[in-house]
Amino acid sequence: MIKVNKYDNIAVQHFFIVGLLYYTKNKIGGDIEIMNSIYKKLIEGHKRYGTTIEDITKHCLDTDASLIKENVVIAPTMKYEFWKDYGAEITVLHNGYHIFSNIKVKNKEFTFITTGIGAPNLVDIVLGLGTTNCKNIIFIGSVGSLDEKINIGDIVIPKYSICGDGVCKYLTGKPIKNSYVYGEKYYPNKELFNKTIESTKSICEKQNISWHIAENFSVDTIFAQFAHVDEIKKLGSRVIEMETASLFRASEICNIKATAIFCVSDNTVNKKSLFSGRTQKDKQKKGYSRYIITPEIVLDILQ
């Protein structure tokens, strides 16, 4: 039997107290993991004003941390109902401004979250997922094309996303005034990205759907982006959307793997923007890729 004296007990207590500041507890498995230093700083900001890890989870996710699965699928606008077409068992955890549900389909289980549009909505949820057992995030959403050869209804996997949002400057660990991150490239997790490419290639070739790996720009506005399209294209961007630069940044500091799958909804350079020019056939092609092809890719990734 190992004897523990009072000084050992004091040391253990000291370690535990320090651990509250520098570690976060895995709610399901009970493992303790070192938090990324930037994420640690964000958590300590909450603790300074009396907020606990449990408070953060409840506020950001509207549910208990233990209910969040290791695999999480995030969509800005798509709601859980379309999974019924795949014979899914759906458990709704919260149905409000943000919608959380657990999906079981084809022997796969994951949490599905409708975040709402834009980087601020998404980032608070991803940072909240850092307090749970979430290990992998698959983002599914729409993207606009800035390339004549990337057409409506095509599938796009972002190689990286260039920051054009205002959220990422809060995720650098530096004072806000010193956090100039416009134009920074944020990347998906390499392992999950490669799996996404593999699954996309397999599904799209079977379904005769064009797909691309492309450079993305994440913007904060739909209305005002058109006046800046030439500038955005000069950065090397071939597609444009609103969330994934912040997704890749936030997930990285939470030690969560993340990837993204886009369905092309519009093509500005072909004069088929969100505001004008799209035909009913264009919208049907987008709908097919959005609700048929994209879910198939997700399920293949989760194999």
What is the pLDDT, as a whole number, of residue 179? Answer: 86
In a domain, 114, yes or no: yes
Distance CA 287, CA 281 (A): 10
| Series of mean pLDDT values for 10-residue runs along the chain (303 residues) | 40 38 37 63 95 93 94 97 96 95 95 97 97 97 98 98 96 90 96 98 97 98 97 97 98 97 98 97 97 97 94
| Phi, psi angles (nearest 5°) of residue 97 | -60, -45
- Segment (H or E) for 90: strand 89-95
What is the residue range of 221's domain? 37-301
Q: What CA–CA distance (Å, rounded) separates 51 from 62? A: 15
Q: What is the pLDDT of residue 88?
A: 96
Task: CATH number of the domain at 118, please.
Answer: 3.40.50.1580
Residue 58: inside a domain: yes
Q: Which of 99, 67, 70 has the alpha carbon at shortest distance from 83?
A: 99
Give the pLDDT confidence score for residue 8 in this predicted structure.
42
If one counts the domains in the chain, the total is 1
Per-residue confidence (pLDDT) for residue 124, from 0 to 100:
97
Domain membership of residue 161 (yes or no) is yes
Q: What is the pTM of this model?
A: 0.87
State both tokens at 148: 């004549």
Please check whether residue 272 lies inside any domain of the structure: yes
Q: What is the pLDDT of residue 36?
A: 81
Residue 264 lies in a domain: yes
With respect to residue 16, please indicate whether it lies within any of the assigned structural domains: no
Q: Per the domain annotation, does 202 fall within a domain?
A: yes
Flag whether 155 is in a domain.
yes
